[in-house]
């Protein structure tokens, strides 16, 4: 006998703003709290698109932010009413984004729903988000998210098992019967960490890492910024690799991430940087709210740029047992990410793909067996072990490289520059810009793309002269399914290979964010190879601001965040 629940069809009013962005539907939490049926509508729209079959299995979990548990309750009720056969839910609703991807793949699930707004702050006055992932474990491609959006705009009813309440605090199995024909729904509440940990132990050599940390008396510091990675970091670092509890900072997930941005960069993970600057710890890492991003810091606060990190992992892929076993099939980076990876790919004679911003563009190449390692400048690094970027994986990859090279972080990075030269990279974010002003910046740039009037013109700053060789709007044709993504960012490429890129963010919850990316190359024999990146980038930054007229259009003298 199983407990029975009836399905109710509830009338609702559709919303016209449930369009998923770069990474799912992200809105101020107040939108979810105050707009009637906002969550129910969106979950129903997902259900209508995926049309759950009788063997439909969904994985559900999130980063622990405010409203997550409420959203899990809604998902259970709406999914059960719509015919989902089985739900696999992280204990207390907690699952990192990489863990969801891992679990979807491991249990051959139909897909997953991730409750997160990633690195955006959380709480009643911050952001919330819902993201759908498909059966390969990766973010739903545009054709799926577009279909969800179309349904959401016309939705008049949703189905729900109103009284179906489950306990998500205890690991275990529960079964329910739905509707007149007593359709069975199974709900498994699972450990947030166990499956992911098993995968990491397959990929890396944990016993060797443990010995290495012990023998070298390495002191590690992982800062979860109060996001979901806390329990994973504890399990990997303390339980498996034998590090002491003081390796863990901000590792208890909080609904509001302690009131700050759970975004691992030099601005928001300042605490980790300051700790590392003291020179006590050898290797530090910070992660974002849902655990897919990472920032890596060496002793004395030596910062590893995410673009360099990707290139260095590629160049040292043999330090990672997973790649030793499976080979490195190809590498990829998002278009704005620096060209450091390209140089390694050329040396290793591996295929190199340049994709639009957003992890979803890597999925097809990975599924087709053409891509093993990829990353984005936005602190995202990962491999084809799952279909999301993976913060903890990146930290373990680096530990493996340090062990293999028997060197510290700074030595490994500087050695890389000496071999390949150095791509200095920076990103300027202008957040919460007036939408009209942001559009004016972009239309101004697009006019140059149209008329090509700046081609071959010279632009001088601080005695550096840059000649424009390409001025285009990045367009990508997926090599696997031939789908075309247009308008993916305005690109200016100069004669010396330096690049400047402009695009509008697709993850903000309100207003507009302009991102300006600068990638400038210093050759390996240059005197300023190890000098401050900021200095090296100054001339190009000035040219970029002049060409885009960002200060004039937006009234902003300086960006909100520089990474």
Site residues (vs Zn ion, CB under 5 A): 118, 288, 290, 292-293
299 binds, among Zn ion, ligand G1P, none (CB under 5 to 8 A by kind): none
Cα dihedral angle (303, 307, 309, 313), rounded to 10 degrees?
Answer: -170
Closest CA to 311 of 475, 201, 220, 421: 421
CB of 91 to ligand G1P, least distance (A): 25
Q: In this complex, which beta carbon is closest to Zn ion, that of residue 195 or of residue 288? A: 288
Written as six digits, the tokens of 175 are: 């079964």
CB of 380 to ligand G1P, least distance (A): 6
By CB under 6 A, what part of segment 383-442 binds ligand G1P?
none
275 binds, among Zn ion, ligand G1P, none (CB under 5 to 8 A by kind): none
Q: Which of 48, 505, 509, 563 binds ligand G1P (CB under 6 A)?
A: 505
90-113 burial: b if 16+ Cβ within 10 Å, else e: bbbbbbbbbbbbbbbbbeebbbbb
Stretch that binds ligand G1P, among 45-53, 60-68, 373-381, 400-408 (CB under 6 A): 373-381
Strand locations in 323-420 (E): 330-334, 351-355, 373-376, 380-383
Q: Which of 334, 400, 548, 554 binds ligand G1P (CB under 6 A)?
A: 334
Q: Give one word for 243, left, alpha or beta, with left for phi > 0 and alpha for psi -120 to 50.
A: beta
CB of 431 to Zn ion, least distance (A): 17
Per CB under 6 A, 48 contacts ligand G1P: no
Q: In this complex, which beta carbon is closest to ligand G1P, that of residue 303 or of residue 359? A: 359
290 binds, among ligand G1P, Zn ion, none (CB under 5 to 8 A by kind): Zn ion
Contact 39, 71 (CB under 8 A): yes
Per CB under 6 A, 509 contacts ligand G1P: no
- Convert residues 81-120 into a mask of x (bound to ligand G1P by CB under 6 A) and - (unbound): -------------------------------------x--
Give every CB contact of residue 349 below 8 A, 6+ residues apart in sequence: none
For residues 42 and 25, give the distance between their C-alpha atoms in angstroms, rounded to a whole number: 9
509 binds, among ligand G1P, Zn ion, none (CB under 5 to 8 A by kind): none
Q: Which of 7, 15, 23, 27 binds ligand G1P (CB under 6 A)?
A: 23
41 binds, among Zn ion, ligand G1P, none (CB under 5 to 8 A by kind): none
Q: Which of 116, 294, 357, 381 binds ligand G1P (CB under 6 A)?
A: 357
In this structure, the chain runs to a length of 563
- What are the φ and ψ backbone dihedral angles of 221, each rounded to 5 degrees? -140, 115
CB of 508 to ligand G1P, least distance (A): 6
For residues 451 and 116, give the distance between their C-alpha atoms in angstroms, rounded to a whole number: 41
Cβ-count burial of 207 within 10 angstroms (0-12 exposed, 13-18 middle, 19+ buried)? exposed
Size of the site for ligand G1P (CB under 6 A): 14
For residues 214 and 282, give the distance between their C-alpha atoms in angstroms, rounded to a whole number: 13
CB of 511 to ligand G1P, least distance (A): 12
Q: In this complex, which beta carbon is closest to ligand G1P, that of residue 83 or of residue 291? A: 291
334 binds, among ligand G1P, Zn ion, none (CB under 5 to 8 A by kind): ligand G1P
Shortest-Cβ-distance residue relative to Zn ion: 118
Q: Which of the following is catalytic: 118, 305, 400, 520?
A: 118
Give every CB contact of residue 292 below 8 A, 6+ residues apart in sequence: 96, 97, 98, 118, 359, 380, 382, 388, 389, 390, 391
CB of 266 to ligand G1P, least distance (A): 16
Per CB under 6 A, 22 contacts ligand G1P: yes
Give every CB contact of residue 16 below 8 A, 6+ residues apart in sequence: 153
Could you give the 3-state DSSP secondary structure of residue 427?
strand
Q: What is the DSSP string of 149-172?
A: HHHHHH--EEEE-TT-----SS-E
Give 31-40 contacts, CB < 8 A, sequence gap 24+: 31/128, 32/67, 32/71, 32/128, 33/67, 33/124, 36/12, 37/10, 37/12, 37/13, 37/158, 39/70, 39/71, 39/74, 39/130, 40/10, 40/12, 40/74, 40/78, 40/158, 40/160
Per CB under 6 A, 298 contacts ligand G1P: no
101 is catalytic: no
> 10 Å Cβ neighbour count for 319?
20
Stretch that binds ligand G1P, among 11-19, 417-425, 500-508, 537-545 (CB under 6 A): 500-508
Q: In this complex, which beta carbon is closest to ligand G1P, that of residue 258 or of residue 506? A: 506
Stretch that binds ligand G1P, among 39-47, 263-271, 354-362, 451-459 (CB under 6 A): 354-362
For residues 467 and 211, give the distance between their C-alpha atoms in angstroms, rounded to a whole number: 52
Instruction: Write the DSSP symbol of residue 318.
Output: G
> 10 Å Cβ neighbour count for 287?
35
CB of 441 to ligand G1P, least distance (A): 15
Strand-pair category, 111-115 with 127-133: antiparallel
Strand-pair category, 220-223 with 283-287: parallel
44 binds, among ligand G1P, Zn ion, none (CB under 5 to 8 A by kind): none
Per CB under 6 A, 133 contacts ligand G1P: no
For residues 72 and 78, give the distance between their C-alpha atoms in angstroms, rounded to a whole number: 10
CB of 286 to Zn ion, least distance (A): 12
CB of 505 to ligand G1P, least distance (A): 3
Q: In this complex, which beta carbon is closest to Zn ion, that of residue 204 or of residue 379? A: 379
Q: Which of 358, 375, 382, 489 binds ligand G1P (CB under 6 A)?
A: 358
Q: Under the rule (CB under 6 A), what is the footprint of ligand G1P?
A: 22-23, 118, 334, 357-359, 376, 378, 380, 505-507, 515
Catalytic sites, residue numbers = 118
């Amino acid at each position: 006998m199983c407990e029975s629940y009836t399905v109710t069809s509830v009338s609702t009013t559709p919303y016209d703003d449930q369009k998923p962005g770069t990474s799912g539907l992200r809105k101020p939490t107040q939108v979810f709290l105050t707009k009637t049926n906002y969550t129910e509508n969106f979950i129903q729209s997902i259900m209508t698109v995926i049309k759950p079959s009788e063997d439909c299995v969904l994985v559900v979990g999130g980063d622990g932010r405010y409203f997550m548990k409420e959203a899990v309750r809604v998902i259970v009720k709406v999914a059960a009413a719509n015919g989902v056969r089985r739900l696999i839910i992280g204990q207390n609703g907690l699952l990192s984004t990489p863990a969801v991807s891992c679990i979807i793949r491991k249990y051959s699930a139909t897909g997953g729903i991730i409750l997160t707004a990633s690195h955006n702050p959380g709480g009643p006055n911050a952001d919330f988000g819902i993201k759908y992932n498909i059966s390969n474990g990766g973010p739903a491609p545009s054709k799926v998210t577009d279909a969800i959006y179309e349904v959401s705009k016309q939705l008049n009813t949703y189905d729900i098992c109103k009284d179906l309440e489950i306990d998500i605090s205890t690991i275990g199995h529960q079964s329910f019967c739905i509707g007149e024909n007593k359709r069975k729904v199974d709900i498994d509440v699972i450990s947030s960490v166990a499956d992911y940990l098993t995968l990491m132990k397959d990929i890396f050599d944990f016993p060797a890492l443990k010995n290495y940390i012990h023998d070298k008396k390495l002191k590690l510091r992982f800062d979860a910024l109060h996001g979901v990675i806390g329990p994973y970091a504890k399990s990997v670092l303390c339980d498996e690799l034998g590090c002491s509890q003081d390796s863990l900072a901000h590792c208890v997930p909080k609904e509001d991430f302690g009131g700050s941005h759970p975004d691992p960069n030099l601005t928001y993970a300042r605490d980790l940087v300051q700790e590392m600057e003291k020179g006590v710890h050898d290797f530090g890492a910070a992660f974002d709210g849902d655990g897919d991003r990472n920032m890596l810091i060496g002793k004395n606060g030596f910062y590893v740029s995410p673009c360099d990190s990707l290139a260095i992992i590629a160049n040292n892929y043999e330090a990672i047992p997973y790649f030793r076993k499976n080979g490195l099939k190809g590498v990829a980076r998002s278009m704005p990410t620096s060209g450091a990876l390209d140089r390694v790919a050329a040396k290793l004679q591996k295929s190199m793909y340049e994709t639009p911003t957003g992890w979803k563009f890597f999925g097809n190449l990975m599924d087709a067996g053409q891509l093993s390692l990829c990353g984005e400048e936005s602190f995202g690094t990962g491999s084809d072990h799952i279909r999301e970027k993976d913060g903890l994986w990146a930290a373990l990859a680096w530990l493996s490289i340090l062990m293999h090279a028997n060197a510290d972080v700074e030595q490994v990075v500087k050695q890389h520059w000496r071999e390949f030269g150095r791509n200095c990279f920076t990103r300027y974010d202008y957040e919460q810009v007036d939408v009209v002003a942001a559009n004016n910046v972009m239309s101004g740039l697009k006019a140059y793309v149209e008329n090509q009037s700046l081609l071959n013109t010279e632009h001088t700053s601080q005695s550096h002269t840059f000649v424009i060789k390409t001025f285009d709007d990045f367009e990508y044709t997926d090599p696997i399914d031939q789908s075309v993504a247009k308008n993916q960012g305005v690109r200016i490429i100069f004669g010396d290979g330096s690049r400047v890129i402009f695009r509008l963010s697709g993850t903000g919850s309100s207003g507009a964010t302009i991102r300006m990316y600068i990638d400038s190359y210093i050759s390996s024999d240059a005197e300023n190879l190890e000098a401050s990146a900021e200095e090296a980038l100054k001339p190009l930054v000035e040219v970029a601001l002049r060409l885009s007229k960002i200060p004039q259009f937006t009234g902003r003298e300086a960006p909100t965040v520089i990474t």
